[in-house]
Structure 1
Amino acid sequence: MQKLGIIHTVSRLAPVFDGLVGEYLPGVGTVVIADELLLQRTIRDGAVDGITRERLAQHVEQLASYGVDAVLVTCSSVGAAVDELAATSEVPVLRVDRAMAERAVGMGRTIGVLATLPTTLVPTVDLVRSAADGQARDVTILPRLCEGAFDALGRGDVELHDAIIADELDQLVAQVDVVVLAQASMARVAEGRETGGVPVLSSPRLAIEQIAQSIATPL
């Protein structure tokens, strides 16, 4: 792999992925598109609409025509649209949370899914269920929405955002074998937090690790 295309819907996550690419994919260049409107429309409408699908498809096409070897979409809320594009794109199109979901279903029978947005919670739950079906595993999924956390972050109240997530996480780890964080931005809240030995998975590192592992074999 020479070039990896990355599509962000949250611009502030770009440094996180830049660091991971440098760590796991030395020598691989990145071509980045940031389009926050993709996520904002999805939040506003409660689902991925036709305009968002078309914008995402255009971004993938632009990256493919530029010559990237694969495209990683870092937004879980548009995950279903990513899967649709992957079926027809001339280059591999990868959703950021698939490696996380596949890892989670191999780690336990009861899986907690934590999110700050309904538009992220639903597709992540669906993905975990699909991953479990793909591995012929019988799992129970416990979804939890961190009510008010996203609005707090939008107001600049990072402390309240983090506190809401931490409280929901503390409750969830007592009920499950593994927790999946539906949004990459939640990872820092879980870092270093006592979870009683319950694994807490986040998507960015696992996604880049999976790409690195696949380089020996064409994607």
Structure 2
Amino acid sequence: MIALLHTSPVHVPVFDALRDRDHPDVELLHTVRVDLLERAVDEGPDAVAPALVDALVDAVGRGATSVLCTCSTLGAIAEASAVAVGVPVLRVDRPMAAVAAGRRRVAVVAALASTVEPTVALIHEEARARAGQQDGLGPAQGPDVHAVVVDGAWERFLAGDRKGYLDAVAAAVDALGDADVIVLAQASMADAVERTRTPVPVLSSPRSGLQGAVAALRAHQRSPRGSTG
């Protein structure tokens, strides 16, 4: 069982559909905590770390053996909680960031400003890993990353205007200039890909993130610790 930590209920049917299509033998346990993102936006992600750990520990207590955090703002905090939680914890945007890290010019599109710094930092982290570097050993010879926050998009999302939200994201993507790849920083943006006209590859996180979580689950099950429960 994979536990998914969401900060919006809109993600539940998206990931259920991806599971049904790609991983029908995997059980998903959804936890929706809108309050965690609201507090993280106001006080910073570190402020919600204890509550986040409690939510994940509860999911593990209900049988989860792997965790996927679908909120990009909280992704780094979630991954850092893996030792306390006791099972693999993956942020949904890591597989996407690993792909983007291999390109020279990366554009990040976000609807929420708090998502920008974690997403950009993750791409640079993956670039260092690709270059065989470690933190503190000098700058990575990685991509040039620039970010755009889509004006008014998050307000549309909060108001339930899904069409307006996706249209605004797609318009922002199509307005971008020089980029080798475009990263949609939030999982809720994924359906905007089909509305874009840009020839530049546009990456979204839900499908690759779930694939990564399933891979982590399989690896955990094969490990001595995982096989003994």
TM over 0.5: yes
Shift of residue 89 of structure 1?
Answer: 2.9
- Which residue number corresponds to residue 108 of structure 2? 113
- Which residue number corresponds to residue 97 of structure 2? 101
- Which residue number corresponds to residue 153 of structure 1? 157
User: Under a length normalisation based on structure 2, what TM-score does the superposition of the two structures give?
Assistant: 0.85
- Which residue number corresponds to residue 183 of structure 1? 186
**Given the alignment, which residue of 40, 60, 63 partners 2:59?**
63
Q: Deviations over 1:7-57 (max 9, x none)?
A: 111111100001111222222112211111011112233x2143x211110
**Given the alignment, which residue of 144, 148, 170 partners 1:144?**
148
Matched, 1:18 2:16: yes
- Aligned amino acid, residue 182 of structure 1: A
Please give the secondary structure, in 2, of the residue aligned with 1:75.
coil
- Aligned amino acid, residue 96 of structure 1: V
- Which residue number corresponds to residue 174 of structure 2? 170
User: Under a length normalisation based on structure 1, what TM-score does the superposition of the two structures give?
Assistant: 0.89
Matched, 1:29 2:27: yes
- Which residue number corresponds to residue 131 of structure 1? 126
Distance verdict in 2 for CA 1:160–1:67, change over 3 Å? closer
Alpha-carbon distance in structure 1 between the residues aligned to 2:93 and 2:197: 23
Please give the secondary structure, in 1, of the residue aligned with 2:54.
helix
Alpha-carbon distance in structure 2 between the residues aligned to 1:152 and 1:62: 32
- Aligned amino acid, residue 29 of structure 1: E
Distance verdict in 2 for CA 1:34–1:215, change over 3 Å? closer
Alpha-carbon distance in structure 2 between the residues aligned to 1:167 and 1:192: 8
Alpha-carbon distance in structure 2 between the residues aligned to 1:163 and 1:5: 30
- Aligned amino acid, residue 122 of structure 1: E
Please give the secondary structure, in 1, of the residue aligned with 2:219.
coil
**Given the alignment, which residue of 180, 190, 207 partners 2:209?**
207
Shift of residue 142 of structure 1?
Answer: 1.2
Among the aligned pairs, what percent are the same residue? 34
What is the aligned residue count? 212
Alpha-carbon distance in structure 1 between the residues aligned to 2:76 and 2:215: 24
- Aligned amino acid, residue 124 of structure 1: T
Shift of residue 166 of structure 1?
Answer: 2.2
CA contact (8 A) 2:68 2:210 kept: no
Please give the secondary structure, in 1, of the residue aligned with 2:196.
coil
Alpha-carbon distance in structure 2 between the residues aligned to 1:214 and 1:54: 23
- Which residue number corresponds to residue 81 of structure 1? 77
Please give the secondary structure, in 1, of the residue aligned with 2:86.
coil
- Which residue number corresponds to residue 45 of structure 2? 48
- Any stretches of 5+ residues in structure 2 without a counterpart? 132-140, 222-229
Alpha-carbon distance in structure 2 between the residues aligned to 1:102 and 1:57: 25
- Say what the alpha-carbon RMSD is for the aligned residues: 1.8
- Any stretches of 5+ residues in structure 1 without a counterpart? none
Distance verdict in 2 for CA 1:18–1:160, change over 3 Å? closer
CA contact (8 A) 2:69 2:92 kept: yes
Shift of residue 162 of structure 1?
Answer: 3.2
Shift of residue 163 of structure 1?
Answer: 3.6
